[in-house]
Chains A and B, each alone.
Chain A
Amino acid sequence: EAGVAQSPRYKIIEKRQSVAFWCNPISGHATLYWYQQILGQGPKLLIQFQNNGVVDDSQLPKDRFSAERLKGVDSTLKIQPAKLEDSAVYLCASSSRRPGAVGNEQFFGPGTRLTVL
């Protein structure tokens, strides 16, 4: 079974530029998550989708971050404009159970390392 795919793996941009990350979850997984992981910290949830609907985006900085999951499969996360403090690894994860179900194991992709100069 193929895992969660993310691209690009690395991205370097200057502040105020825009950037987009792509995620392809495990086939059949209805729930998709985007996390931000700053160096030395645990991942922080940015947004959670159930199929193509948003379940939780309470920690998404909506003035500069946006995410979509058209057709309930692939997802993109965009930052516009980027700030220095956005330098982090952006992780995508997916799960097959409905949110809140016992044993809601999440499968993570390798992440995209963003450096903002």
Chain B
Amino acid sequence: LAKTTQPISMDSYEGQEVNITCSHNNIATNDYITWYQQFPSQGPRFIIQGYKTKVTNEVASLFIPADRKSSTLSLPRVSLSDTAVYYCLVGGLLMAGKLIFGQGTELSVKP
């Protein structure tokens, strides 16, 4: 299973764009990249998933370069409510649905 590395913490201010980068040098051909968000006292929540290039939904964008050895979660114009822990996960068909969570990135948004 591919191991992921992401910053332990990040600080930002309201209205800024936040980019969280995750390294996954050993990603396999079948692996997808998925990001989850977790607020205190809640379970993780799916944000976005991608395989290559760029994926965008109503809350975030995911940028994946051609070599797929890293990915960047982009949160546009963050607000205080985006303060949470963000997890990058890598896996695919061979994982049989298993999610391997790392330590995550604790994002703190300040006014």
Contact = CB atoms under 8 A, between A and B. Distances in A.
Interface of A: 4, 31, 33, 40-45, 48, 55-56, 91, 93, 95, 97-111
Per CB-CB distance, the 3 closest pairs between chain A and chain B, nearest first, are A108-B43, A42-B101, A99-B97
A100 B101 contact: no
A42 B97 contact: no
Contacts of A42: 87, 101-104
A43 B42 CA distance: 12
Nearest to B89: A42
B59 interface: no
- Interface SS of B by simple majority: loop
Given A45-B99, A100-B95, A103-B32, 12 more contacts: A31-B97, A33-B99, A42-B102, A42-B103, A93-B43, A95-B97, A97-B97, A98-B97, A99-B98, A100-B94, A109-B43, A110-B42
A109 B41 CA distance: 10
Contact of A48 (B43, B93, B97, B104): B97
A4 B44 CA distance: 12
Interface of B: 32, 41-46, 49, 87, 92-104
Contacts of A43: 44, 99, 101
A103 B49 CA distance: 7
Contacts of B92: 100, 102
Contacts of B99: 33, 43, 45, 106
Contacts of B42: 108, 110-111
A29 to B, nearest CB: 12
Contacts of B43: 4, 91, 93, 108-111
Given A41-B103, A42-B104, A48-B98, A102 B46 contact: no
B41 A110 contact: yes
